[in-house]
Amino acid sequence: MSAFFLVFVGGGLGAVSRYGSGLLVGRVAGHGFPWGTLFVNVAGSLVMGLLVSWLARRSSGDSDLRLLLAVGFLGGFTTFSAFSLDAVALYERGEPTAAMIYVLASVLVSILALFAGLWLVRQL
């Protein structure tokens, strides 16, 4: 099956799941704090860890399942899970300094970029 199709299907299902989970958790936990986003990020990271470990134990590695579930579904559910996997992979490869730089740069630069985008549009 086409890699792009697998990512497309998984991503769509993941995005719908993110939206539904966010609404449900937000309703249960209350407003004022982004509980839905926090839940999705933590749950997606947990599932990414489980999935990557399970796929690594399979002799075939099953690239179609990886594309559908890890890249597609979890990528649509939360890109935070991919970010978490990248950070842990750097750390486990013996590069803790690179992992810390990646985490800090990703979070800080992304927040600064969001501020920049807000500022640019507000100047119009």
Binding residues for Na(+): 75, 78
* CB proximity list for 9: less than 8 A, separation 6 or greater: 68, 72
The residues near 12 (Cβ < 8 Å, ≥ 6 apart) are: 76
- CA nearest to 10, candidates 74, 53, 63, 56: 74
Binding residue ranges = 75, 78
Write the secondary structure of 29-94 as one string of H (helix), E (strand) and C (coil). HCCCCCHHHHHHHHHHHHHHHHHHHHHHHCCCCCHHHHHHHHHHHHHHHCHHHHHHHHHHHHHHCC
